[in-house]
Amino acid sequence: MAKVAIMGFGTVGSGVYEIIRTNAGKLAQNAGDTVELKYILDIRDFPDHPKKELFTKDFNDILNDEEVTVVAEVMGGLHPAYEFTKSLLLAGKSVVTSNKELVATYGTELLEIARNKNVNYMFEASVGGGIPIIRPIHQCLTANNITKIAGILNGTTNYILYQMITNGKSFDTALKNAQDNGYAERNPAADIEGHDACRKIAILASLASREAVDYSDIPTEGIVGITLDDVKYASELDCVIKLIGYAEFMDGKVYSIVAPMLVKKTDPLSGVNDVFNAIKVTGDCVGDVMFYGAGAGKLPTASAVVADIVDSVKHKVRSKKFTWYKPETDIMAGKDAKKFEYFIRTGDSIENVKKSFGEITHTDSISAGELAFVTRPLTASEVEAKSKELSDIMTCIRILD
Ligand code: HSE
């Protein structure tokens, strides 16, 4: 019998509890052993919970119990999740997590400890909620050089954009709905300012390149400035606006960015709506493959956490190495390594636009006194310099190629 513990009884933790109880037979079959929950760590009281005897507020109960071999860290945040995870790995226990902040920040160190201790540190739930993406990149696509990853990695922002576009809801109402549904982070700024998606693309880029990509090196823009007019222009251009986490692997370097982008309606990412996430991965042998599903929410995220528990129980002797290493040199490509076409709205004249940007594709204006156009492919520095020559830029959004 494998004894496991859950740290954190919030949305995901309660989902993990539910799946372990309701799918016990299935888990035992797949793990080759019964999975028994021995502790739930949380600082709050749950006096009416039917299994209240499982609850503890003392981390040492889990750390010092030799019977516990696998721990699900679903507390979120960096501290004390980092200290707890490190202690557990050093004590020879496997840890599985949905905590993308922790994996993106301390993953390199925690993975090294797991390798040295021959235990597992697994994080399938940290990117894309219930979507299998860590194993596919690590295992199924292992024959490929991954050349590109483009993903809708944040359910909350995708939900907000979809509600704005389809139901005409205001940004604030859509955000409130996302919070009520348990999709948003405790501090939703992490969602709407793009930081959550940034951590997720850093994890995927690290896994694909096998070298740690520091999330703080990834330029990140959120969706706060996106207006209903931007959404309408996008539609005129046969596009939709999505928050995209992007990584391209070029000659040993990684170019990465998180930003709202116009996605052409011919791109399958354009049809990913509501709280759903999707990750399009390009490999040099396989071409494009796309992974789609619920990117946030209790049971979808818990489904991935429990899969890691089962895998850790199965691989308690020979650990699985979903891993990356600290690079010896700077692996980040500069911000000008990649050119995008840009969609721009300005209050300036067509003469000035043409003088600065040269060849453009002109789009019909929605409001009087403004011009909307699409540039030829430009680097970030080029678009910055040309934009400075115009008097009034309202919107400047990349177009995903
Ligand atoms: N706040 C995150 C999202 C939760 O909206 O995608 C899942 O990581």
String of DSSP letters for 108-172: HHHHHHHHHHT--EE-GGGSSTTS--HHIIIIITTTSPEEEEEEE--HHHHHHHHHHHHH---HH
Cα torsion angle, 75, 80, 81, 87, sign: negative
Q: Which residues of 115-137 are buried (b: 16+ CB within 10 A; e: fewer)?
A: bebebbbbbbbbbbbbbbbbbbb
Catalytic positions are: 200
Task: Determine whether the shortest distance from the Cβ of 188 to ligand 1 is under 6 A.
Answer: no
Residue 184 CA to ligand 1 center (angstroms) comes to 6
Residue nearest to atom 7 of ligand 1 (CA): 296
For residues 143 and 288, state if they share a domain.
yes
Q: Per the domain annotation, does 325 fall within a domain?
A: no
For residues 247 and 163, state if they share a domain.
yes
Taking the C-alpha atoms of residue 323 and residue 95, their distance in angstroms, rounded to an integer, is: 14
Task: Determine whether the shortest distance from the Cβ of 194 to ligand 1 is under 6 A.
Answer: no
Residue 365 CA to ligand 1 center (angstroms) comes to 35
For residues 20-34, give the mean pLDDT: 97
Residue 9 CA to ligand 1 center (angstroms) comes to 17
Q: Which atom of ligand 1 is nearest to the CA of 158?
A: 5
Task: Determine whether the shortest distance from the Cβ of 197 to ligand 1 is under 6 A.
Answer: no
For residues 281 and 141, state if they share a domain.
yes
| pLDDT higher than 80, residue 317 | no
Band of the pLDDT at 194, cuts 50, 70, 90?
Answer: very high
For residues 235 and 287, state if they share a domain.
yes
Q: Per the domain annotation, does 231 fall within a domain?
A: yes
Looking at the chain, the whole-number percentage of residues with pLDDT higher than 70 is 100
Band of the pLDDT at 274, cuts 50, 70, 90?
Answer: very high
Q: How high is the pLDDT of residue 171? A: 86
The CATH number of the domain holding residue 367 is 3.30.70
Looking at the chain, the whole-number percentage of residues with pLDDT higher than 90 is 88
For residues 336-364, give the mean pLDDT: 94
Taking the C-alpha atoms of residue 241 and residue 270, their distance in angstroms, rounded to an integer, is: 8
For residues 177 and 285, state if they share a domain.
yes
Q: Which of 99, 191, 223 to mutate to test the pocket of ligand 1 (most atoms within 8 A of CB)?
A: 191
Instruction: Report the DSSP pairing between strands 276-283 and 253-264.
Output: unpaired
Task: Determine whether the shortest distance from the Cβ of 128 to ligand 1 is under 6 A.
Answer: no
Q: How high is the pLDDT of residue 164? A: 84
288 near 282, Cβ under 8 Å?
yes
Q: Which atom of ligand 1 is nearest to the CA of 183?
A: 5
Number of domains, the chain: 3
For residues 326-353, give the mean pLDDT: 96
| pLDDT higher than 80, residue 401 | yes
Q: Per the domain annotation, does 250 fall within a domain?
A: yes
172 near 184, Cβ under 8 Å?
no
Residue 85 CA to ligand 1 center (angstroms) comes to 21
Q: Which atom of ligand 1 is nearest to the CA of 188?
A: 1
Q: How high is the pLDDT of residue 239? A: 96
Of residues 337, 352, 362, the one with CA closest to residue 387: 352
**Domain carrying residue 42:** 2-130+298-314
Residue range 201-260, pLDDT digits in tens: 999 999 999 999 999 999 999 999 898 899 889 999 999 999 999 999 999 999 999 999
Band of the pLDDT at 363, cuts 50, 70, 90?
Answer: confident
Q: How high is the pLDDT of residue 165? A: 84
DSSP string, 236-257: HTTEEEEEEEEEEEETTEEEEE
For residues 46 and 67, state if they share a domain.
yes
Band of the pLDDT at 362, cuts 50, 70, 90?
Answer: confident
The CATH number of the domain holding residue 168 is 3.30.360.10
Widest Cα–Cα separation across the chain: 75
Residue 175 CA to ligand 1 center (angstroms) comes to 12
Task: Determine whether the shortest distance from the Cβ of 295 to ligand 1 is under 6 A.
Answer: yes
For residues 176-200, give the mean pLDDT: 93
For residues 38 and 96, state if they share a domain.
yes
The residue out of 314, 349, 365 marking a domain boundary is 314
Q: Per the domain annotation, does 324 fall within a domain?
A: no
Task: Determine whether the shortest distance from the Cβ of 158 to ligand 1 is under 6 A.
Answer: no
Q: Per the domain annotation, does 82 fall within a domain?
A: yes
Q: How high is the pLDDT of residue 300? A: 96
The residue out of 294, 327, 349 marking a domain boundary is 294
Task: Determine whether the shortest distance from the Cβ of 184 to ligand 1 is under 6 A.
Answer: yes
Of residues 154, 131, 180, 127, the one with CA closest to residue 242: 154
For residues 229 and 193, state if they share a domain.
yes
Q: Per the domain annotation, does 319 fall within a domain?
A: no
For residues 138 and 103, state if they share a domain.
no
DSSP assigned state of 325 = B
User: In what side-by-side order are the strands of the sheet with 341-346?
Assistant: 287-294, 276-283, 146-152, 239-250, 253-264, 393-399, 341-346, 371-375, 360-363
Residue nearest to atom 8 of ligand 1 (CA): 296
Task: Determine whether the shortest distance from the Cβ of 155 to ligand 1 is under 6 A.
Answer: yes
146 near 137, Cβ under 8 Å?
yes
Task: Determine whether the shortest distance from the Cβ of 357 to ligand 1 is under 6 A.
Answer: no
For residues 306 and 277, state if they share a domain.
no
Cα torsion angle, 67, 320, 72, 51, sign: negative
Task: Determine whether the shortest distance from the Cβ of 191 to ligand 1 is under 6 A.
Answer: yes
In one-letter notation, the amino acid at residue 348 is D
Q: How high is the pLDDT of residue 169? A: 86
For residues 141 and 70, state if they share a domain.
no
Q: Per the domain annotation, does 288 fall within a domain?
A: yes
For residues 116 and 12, state if they share a domain.
yes
Q: Which of 152, 156, 180 to mutate to test the pocket of ligand 1 (most atoms within 8 A of CB)?
A: 156
Q: Per the domain annotation, does 151 fall within a domain?
A: yes
| pLDDT higher than 80, residue 319 | no
For residues 258-285, give the mean pLDDT: 97
Taking the C-alpha atoms of residue 55 and residue 216, their distance in angstroms, rounded to an integer, is: 36
Helix (H, G, I), strand (E, B) or coil at 281: strand
For residues 156-182, give the mean pLDDT: 90
Q: How high is the pLDDT of residue 305? A: 98
